[in-house]
Amino acid sequence: NAGVMQNPRHLVRRRGQEARLRCSPMKGHSHVYWYRQLPEEGLKFMVYLQKENIIDESGMPKERFSAEFPKEGPSILRIQQVVRGDSAAYFCASTGTGGWGYTFGSGTRLTVV
């Protein structure tokens, strides 16, 4: 399967814990995007990364959220000290050069209890 791989599919965390969401882009893609979908809402852009660089983080909350896309390995979206309002579906997408060929992963459903 050469698609965008996200894991885990479902993640349950207690308030105050850390959540780590992983995304491996489609083969040949070097651009990764994270989106958040709150219940009953469309997807909202969070951050755009290329290898080792954050290109646009205009949609990231200023505190507790961070993202990276290291030279080796998957992109990671980290949420520290999770709160109930962080419960959402988090989607990763990847594109090739030029930003086209958008392909989404299956998402990670985060539930904070």
Partner 1 sequence: AQKITQTQPGMFVQEKEAVTLDCTYDTSDPSYGLFWYKQPSSGEMIFLIYQGSYDQQNATEGRYSLNFQKARKSANLVISASQLGDSAMYFCAMRGARAGGSNYKLTFGKGTLLTVNP
Residue ranges in contact with partner 1 by CB under 8 A: 31, 33, 35, 40-45, 48, 55-56, 58-59, 89, 91, 93, 95, 98-99, 102-104, 106-107, 109
Minimal distance in Å, beta carbon 22 to partner 1? 17
Distance CA 7, CA 14 (A): 18
Q: Which is nearer to partner 1, 27 or 44 (CB)?
A: 44
Minimal distance in Å, beta carbon 106 to partner 1? 5
φ and ψ of 52, to 5 deg: 65, 5
Q: Which is nearer to partner 1, 85 or 98 (CB)?
A: 98
Minimal distance in Å, beta carbon 99 to partner 1? 3
Q: Which is nearer to partner 1, 18 or 56 (CB)?
A: 56
Q: Which is nearer to partner 1, 2 or 14 (CB)?
A: 2
Place of tokens 């852009």: 45
